[in-house]
Amino acid sequence: MLIQNLKLFCIVVDKIIMWLGKGASVMMPVLAFIVVFEVAARYLFNAPTIWAYDTSLFLFGYIAALGGAYAQQRKAHINVDILYITVSPNVKNIFNLISFSLGIFFLIIVFYVSFGKFNEAIEYDYRRESEWAPAMWHFWVMLCIASTLFIMQLVKDIILELYHLITGRELFEKEVTNGY
C-alpha cells in the first residue's frame, strides 16, 4: 500500500511539473514578441510603450521560477561531475539526498520570504517604480507557487533516491525503447 501511494505521489508530481514546465515554455515566445514589439515601437516609430519593460521582467521571472522544477525533473541542473561520476550508485544517492535536502531548505526560505512580501505588497499596495507602476503582489504569489512546485519535485526525487538506497532497486521500472 505504501509503495503504491509513493508511486501515485510521484506520478502526480511528474504530471503537474511537466504541464507547468511546458506551460512556462509557452511564455517564452510571448516574452520574445513583447521585446521585439517594444524595440520596434521605440526605434522604428519613436513611440515607446510604458508597459513592455515591466511585462517582460515579470514574464522572465515567471519563466525562470516555474522552469526550475521542470529543469529538476529533466535532470538539467548541473552537477560537479568530476566527483559525481567517480563514486558508487549508493554514494550518488547520498550526494543527491544531501543536495535535495539543502534545496528544500533554501526553497522553504524562498517561500517564507515570498509569502511575507506578498502580504506586504497587498497591505501597502506595492508597485513597480515605473511610469506604468503595475502591482507587485502577483509576482510574490508566483514565487510561492514556484517554490512549492520545486519542493514537491525535490520530495519526489528524495523518495526515488531513498527507495533506491534502501532496496537497491528503482521505484519505477525503466522502459525499454528498442534502442531509441
**Are the C-beta atoms of residues 17 and 68 closer than 8 Å to each other?**
no
In a domain, 147, yes or no: yes
> Mean of the pLDDT values across residues 79-104?
91
- Say whether pLDDT at 178 is over 70: no
In a domain, 51, yes or no: yes
In a domain, 175, yes or no: no
Neighbours of 134 (CB within 10 A): 16
Could you give the CA distance from residue 88 to residue 172 in angstroms, rounded to a whole number?
20
- Say whether pLDDT at 123 is over 50: yes
- Give how far Cα 41 sits from Cα of 27, 28, 120, 132, Å: 21, 20, 35, 16
In a domain, 180, yes or no: no
Q: Hey, what's the cell of 80?
A: 560537479
Range of the domain at 126: 7-167
Of the ranges 53-57, 90-94, 172-176, which one carries the lowest mean pLDDT score?
Answer: 172-176
In a domain, 177, yes or no: no
In a domain, 176, yes or no: no
Total number of domains in the chain: 1
For the stretch 37-84, pLDDT in tens is 999 999 999 999 999 999 999 999 999 999 999 999 999 988 778 888
What pLDDT score does 29 carry?
97
Could you give the CA distance from residue 32 to residue 135 in angstroms, rounded to a whole number?
22
Q: Indicate the average pLDDT of the chain.
A: 93
The backbone torsions φ and ψ at residue 135, rounded to the nearest 5 degrees and listed phi first, read -65, 155
Q: What is the DSSP string of 39-65?
A: HIIIIISS---SSHHHHHHHHHHHHHH
Residue 62 identity (one-letter amino acid):
Y
In a domain, 30, yes or no: yes
In a domain, 20, yes or no: yes
What pLDDT score does 180 carry?
46
